[in-house]
Amino acid sequence: MQTLRVELGERSYPIHIGAGLLDDAGLIAPLLRSNRVAVVTNVTVAPLYFERFAAGLSQRGIQSLQIALPDGEAYKNWETLNSIYERLLEARCDRQTALIALGGGVVGDIAGFAAATFQRGVPFIQVPTTLLAQVDASVGGKTAINHPRGKNMIGAFYQPLAVLADTDTLASLPGRELRAGLAEVIKHGLIRDAGLFEWLEANLERLLAREPAALAHAVFRCCQIKAEVVAADERETGERALLNFGHTFGHAIENAMGYGVWLHGEAVAAGMVLAAELSRRLGRLPAADAQRVAGIIARAGLPTSVEGIPAQQFAALMGVDKKALAGNIRFIVLDRLGAASICGDVPAAVLSATLATNAARRGRAN
Amino acid sequence: MQTLRVELGERSYPIHIGAGLLDDAGLIAPLLRSNRVAVVTNVTVAPLYFERFAAGLSQRGIQSLQIALPDGEAYKNWETLNSIYERLLEARCDRQTALIALGGGVVGDIAGFAAATFQRGVPFIQVPTTLLAQVDASVGGKTAINHPRGKNMIGAFYQPLAVLADTDTLASLPGRELRAGLAEVIKHGLIRDAGLFEWLEANLERLLAREPAALAHAVFRCCQIKAEVVAADERETGERALLNFGHTFGHAIENAMGYGVWLHGEAVAAGMVLAAELSRRLGRLPAADAQRVAGIIARAGLPTSVEGIPAQQFAALMGVDKKALAGNIRFIVLDRLGAASICGDVPAAVLSATLATNAARRGRAN
């Protein structure tokens, strides 16, 4: 097991990474103020891991209330959140009852927001079981639900007491979700660590084959990068925005396709290809490097473009309307592989040309 | 104008108290990051103050989006909260748009929770227009909505950037609401300041007659007391619980009568009489002092008892069921006028006897 610490003053917390942590209730028990916890999970993850996880806690005299949500981004909404409140109130949970998120990014986001808002905040622990959640969603305290008018529109910054990333759980992950998680791993390399990016180019097949040592290395390094960024800018007033590389395009893709049709990581993958292309057209990134971005994403089995979104709709979904300049959105661009920055003045023509390459790339691919 | 500061480290903020502050946009403008604000108010307060308030901001080039909620505790729920999100999203408000609460405690609670959760938190400013909100609800960062299963069950601690308490707005306050606010004023004296309590006994008629100087004094002293308590214990892990004096009984009364039938301050008034009686029966408070508590509440035109709640239902609403001892609830009790403490081991028989006096008192009053 490796442990790193997210430094946020009185809100600092440890991230434990390793094999078999799901059984290690000793990492959780000392953090609790009550002999009961509520484990928020989903109907897919619960049959795989709930019993084992609860058994570890039970041995230490801690009872687990299971709250299994329907599975998928489409359920990250008010109705599901309210079903968590209902269960907590029905079971007479109080401000001492910790909420534990056992599952992927959706479970973590919604359970975290429930923890942030139930009785004005209860203790929260993350046990991410997908690659995406282990490298990204569980670090940094972002919690949210979606609103019909936009993704993650309702939420809070709320830090957990601890994160346990059990790399064994990645063995059972569907291939599509593993690949979606790799999109975020690649992102961490692109925005901040050329060495990680090169390591990924050299070791991608080991990750796709789920070699435990390779997965543990990727998770640890990504958490380390994200923890550094978050510690410097907890509430995303500056540097933390770099973590949104590929996400301005990606969120538009998710929205256009309907939430849950594309996985978040898939949309971010195609979004990163577009963001690299934008960086190239702005004269920041050499064409060869933009090619390397598209190349590793394709090798990871992730989409490098998206069909069926006309450029104008795409722009509108990113908040660019006919009257506005593209300059009213801040894009994250690459200055080189391993270094990103915020660009607030992208000319509308350059954005249009970039979106046109999506159509062209799509054309070539078909 | 008097100004005091709530000391909460990086979340510290000023409370300005005085006549005519509603027009003083100079207190607000320097805090804004955008030339637009969303003013959350209700249909009763908006016609009285919105135009004047917006005019002051407009002179400084700041546009006000009016969001007028239905009036009353019964609307402090998810549907109303969602209507705020809808309006903000429809108007394309972003993370820079400040939310300003213009109204009483309900408006402050729900607007504050909207500010805490819209896009994971936007700037928030309180402009309380009722006595209750000026002395209590606007200080301390508690925000919430009600859940069908309980009052204030969903919420967050979220501090405003500033509070503007314009004492002129109390002139238009319905008498019933003025009296409800006095309940919280009396509470502040009872739990922490015998001098304030004696001043209230001597000056109650001046407050009921709405003498500006008397009202300003009461608001200032209560905010000072609450600010001290909150600074020592922002998230209510200890001392802050003393502010709940009368509230364990009061919440049960509100719940039993149906939210919005009794005003919060009215329920707290009757609750304080019961809490003083409980303190007396526990041998902590002299009978004469318990009499003084009931006496000033009666003089303020507030209820000293409640009809129609059988003792057993009353106990159940406080979280005491047949199997549980009363000891599972922590009561705030008076050790003397001006000093309160937490009591976690009230014998069930003493609680029953206390609740019986409510019935008896009611009998005498009828």
Q: Are A227 and A7 in contact (CB under 8 A)?
A: yes
Q: Are residues A289 and A335 in the same domain?
A: yes
CA distance A116 to chain B (A): 7
Kindly tell me if the per-residue pLDDT of B174 is higher than 80: yes
What dihedral angle (degrees, nearest 10) is formed by the CA atoms of B22, B25, B29, B30?
A: -100
Q: In sequence order, which residues have a C-beta less than 8 Å from that of residue B349 and are 6 or more positions away?
A: none
Strand partners of residue B64: B37
- Percentage of residues of chain A with pLDDT beyond 70: 96
**pLDDT of B182 higher than 50:** yes
Chain B residues with CB under 8 Å of A142 CB are 120
Kindly indicate the confidence band of residue B320, based on its pLDDT and cuts at 50, 70 and 90: low
My answer on whether A196 and A256 are in the same domain is yes
The dihedral of CA B22, B26, B31, B35: what is its sign?
positive
Higher-scoring residue by pLDDT: A19, B318? A19
For A92, name the nearest residue in chain B, comparing CA atoms only.
Answer: B319
Q: What is the pLDDT of residue A41?
A: 98
**B249 and B331 belong to one structural domain:** yes
CA-to-CA distance for A125 and A155, rounded, in angstroms? 17
Query: Could you tell me if B52 and B100 lie in one domain?
Result: yes
Q: Supply the mean pLDDT for chain B.
A: 92
The three-state secondary structure class of A6 is strand
Q: Is the Cβ pair A82, B82 closer than 8 Å?
A: no
Are residue B76 and residue B164 in the same domain, yes or no?
yes
ipTM above threshold 0.90: no
Q: Give the span between the Cα atoms of A305 and A310, in whole angstroms.
A: 12
What is the distance between the terminal CA atoms of chain A, rounded to a whole angstrom?
A: 45
Q: What was the pLDDT predicted at B324? A: 41
Do β-strands B124-128 and B142-147 pair in parallel, antiparallel, or remain unpaired?
unpaired
Cβ <8 Å between B86 and A155 = no
Greater model confidence, B84 or B311:
B84
Q: Of A289-303, A321-335, B4-18, B310-324, which gets the smallest average pLDDT?
A: A321-335
Q: Which of the two residues, B35 and B149, has the higher pLDDT score?
A: B35
Instruction: Tell me if residue B264 is catalytic.
Output: yes
Q: Look at the alpha carbons of B305, B310, B314, B315 in this order and tell me if their dihedral is positive or negative.
A: positive
pLDDT value of residue A318: 85
Q: Which H or E element spans position B165?
A: strand B162-166
Last residue of a domain, one of B172, B193, B214: B172
| pLDDT, average across residues A107-131 | 97
Does A90 reach chain B within 8 Å, measured CB to CB? Answer: yes
Residues B127 and B194 in one domain: no
Backbone angles phi, psi at A5, to 5 degrees: -120, 130
Q: Is B45 exposed, middle or buried (0-12, 13-18, 19+ CB in 10 A)?
A: buried
CA angle B15, B20, B25 (to 5 degrees): 70
Kindly provide the b/e burial profile for residues A124-151, where b requires at least 16 CB atoms within 10 angstroms of the residue's own CB: bbbbbbbbbbbbbbbbbbbbbbbbeeeb
Interface check B89 vs A, CB under 8 A: yes
User: Is A254 designated active site?
Assistant: no
Same domain (yes/no): A279, A153: no
The predicted pLDDT at position A113 comes to 98
**Phi and psi based region of residue A243 (left: phi greater than 0; alpha: psi -120 to 50; beta: remaining):** alpha
Residue whose C-alpha is closest to residue B76's, from B260, B312, B301, B314? B260
> In the listed set A121, A145, A172, which residue is the last one of a domain according to the structure?
A172
Residue of A nearest to B237 (CA): A95
What would the two tokens of residue B15 be? 């409370």
CB contact, 8 Å: B79 with chain A? no
A176: closest CA of chain B, how far (Å): 29
CATH number of the domain enclosing B146:
3.40.50.1970
Range of the domain at B297: 175-365
Q: Is the pLDDT of residue A330 over 50?
A: yes
Last residue of a domain, one of B123, B155, B172: B172
Q: What is the pLDDT of residues B277-290, one digit of tens each?
A: 999 999 999 999 99
In this complex, the residue of B85, B120, B142 whose CB is nearest that of residue A156 is B120
* Total domains present in chain B: 2
Q: Which of A217, A264, A281, A292 is catalytic?
A: A264
What one-character DSSP code corresponds to residue B236? -
Over 60: is that where the pLDDT of A199 sits? yes
Checking if the pLDDT of B200 tops 90, the result is yes
Domain with residue A219: its CATH number is 1.20.1090.10
Which of B90, B119, B154 is the closest to A117 by Cβ? Answer: B154
* Domain shared by B147 and B14, yes or no: yes
Token pair 């607030």 is found at: A344
**Nearest chain B residue to A153, by CA:** B119
Q: Is the pLDDT of residue A209 over 60?
A: yes
User: Among residues B210, B298, B207, B302, which one has the least CA distance to residue B262?
Assistant: B302
Q: Tokens representing A202? A: 């050299």
pLDDT value for B358: 80
Whether A236 is catalytic is yes
Burial readout B59-90 (b: 16 or more C-beta within 10 A, e: otherwise): eeebebbebbbebbbebbbbebbbbbbebbbe
Torsion, Cα B46 B262 B220 B198, to 10 degrees, reads 150
C-alpha distances out from residue B41 to A23, A133, B55, B153, Å: 51, 39, 15, 22
Angle between helices B194-208 and B287-299 (to 10 degrees): 20
In chain B, the percentage of residues whose pLDDT exceeds 70 is 96
What pLDDT shows up at residue A223?
96
pLDDT surpassing 70 at residue B326 = no
- Give the ranges where B173-258 is alpha helix by DSSP (H): 175-192, 194-208, 212-232, 247-257
Rounded CA separation A266/A253 (Å): 9
Average pLDDT along chain A: 92
Q: Count A/B contacts: CB-CB distance under 8 Å.
A: 65
Does residue A321 carry a pLDDT above 60? no
Instruction: Name the 3-class secondary structure at B343.
Output: strand
* Whole-angstrom distance, CA of residue B339 vs CA of residue B333: 9
Spatial contact of B352 and B312, defined as CB atoms under 8 Å apart: no
Q: Pairing between strand A124-128 and A98-103? A: parallel
> What does the pLDDT read at residue B363?
45
Residues of A in contact with B155 (CB under 8 A): 117, 119-120
What is the nearest CA distance from B210 to chain A, expressed in angstroms? Answer: 35
Quick check: B82 pLDDT over 80?
yes
Chain A positions in Cβ-Cβ contact with residue B86 (cut-off 8 Å) = 149
Higher pLDDT, A151 or B11: B11
pLDDT of residue A317: 86
Contact (CB, 8 A) for B4 and B224: yes
Residue A155 and residue A225 share a domain: no
Task: Let me know whether B193 and B232 are in one domain.
Answer: yes
Distance from CA of B154 to the nearest CA of A (A): 5
Do A179 and A168 share a structural domain? no
B123 touches chain A (CB under 8 A): no
From the list B142, B144, B156, which residue is nearest A116 (CB)? B156
Strands (E), chain A: 2-6, 13-18, 36-42, 63-69, 98-103, 124-128, 142-147, 150-157, 162-166, 331-336, 339-343
Q: In the structure encoding, which two tokens stand for residue B100, read together? A: 């300003």
Please confirm, yes or no, whether A147 is among the known catalytic residues: no
Q: What's residue A323's pLDDT?
A: 42
User: Of B334, B326, B328, nearest to B351 (Cα)?
Assistant: B326
Beta bridge partners of B41: B68
- CA angle at residue A184 from A283 to A288, to 5 degrees? 30
Lowest-confidence range among B189-193, B316-320, B326-330?
B326-330
Task: Give mean pLDDT, residues A338-353.
Answer: 91
Confidence of residue B142 (pLDDT cuts 50, 70, 90): very high
B168 with B223, same domain: the answer is no
Q: Name the one residue in this structure whose structure tokens are 């307060």.
A: B45
Query: For the ranges A229-243, B166-180, B351-365, which has the lowest average pLDDT?
Result: B351-365
Buried b / exposed e over B172-192, threshold 16 CB at 10 Å, is: ebeeebbbbbbbbbbbbbbbb
Task: List, for residues A242-290, the tens digit of each pLDDT value.
Answer: 999 999 999 899 889 887 789 889 999 999 999 999 999 999 999 999 9
Residues of B in contact with A147 (CB under 8 A): 85, 89
∠ Cα B22 B28 B30 (to 5°): 155
- Do residues B248 and B275 make contact, with C-beta atoms less than 8 angstroms apart? yes
pLDDT, residue A361, reads 67
Give the global pTM: 0.90
Identify the CA nearest to B329 among candidates B306, B308, B298, B350.
B350
Residue B73, pLDDT > 80, answer yes
pLDDT for the residue numbered A326:
45
Q: What are the backbone angles phi and psi of residue B169, rounded to the nearest 5°? A: -65, -15
Contact partners, residue A342, CB within 8 Å, separation at least 6: A241, A242, A330, A331, A332, A333
Question: Which pLDDT does position B238 carry in this prediction?
Answer: 83
